Amino acid sequence: MFTVNWVVRGKETEPIESERFRLNHVSTLIMACRYRMEMMQLKYPETPPDGFIVIDDAGKEIGRWFDMAAP
């Protein structure tokens, strides 16, 4: 299991939303979340996330991604 925290750059400790996923490969999860980014931005128009952080069951950050095109 992995937790994905949808965040705004500079406010990574204040996730807009957190989701739990049952996947075996973090690379697959990161790719799927990159595709979900637009949906998450539409869901939160007041504070759209521009990235996400992937955390494992032990609470360790194992990946992050930020949209480099975002301001």
Structure tokens at 64: 């992050």
Boundaries of domain holding 21: 2-66
| Residue at 71 is within a domain | no
Q: What is the pLDDT of residue 60?
A: 96
Beta bridge partners of 48: none
Q: 16 lies in a domain?
A: yes
pLDDT of residue 71: 59
Residue 35 lies in a domain: yes
| E strand or H helix at 7 | strand 2-7
In a domain, residue 7? The reply is yes
| pTM for the full predicted model | 0.91
Share of the chain above pLDDT 90, in %: 85
Cβ-count burial of 53 within 10 angstroms (0-12 exposed, 13-18 middle, 19+ buried)? Answer: buried
Mean pLDDT score of the chain: 93
pLDDT(69) > 90: no
Give me the number of domains the chain comprises: 1
| 28 in a structural domain | yes
Contact (Cβ atoms closer than 8 angstroms) between residue 4 and residue 18? yes
In tens, the pLDDT along 19-47 reads 999 988 889 999 999 999 999 999 999 99
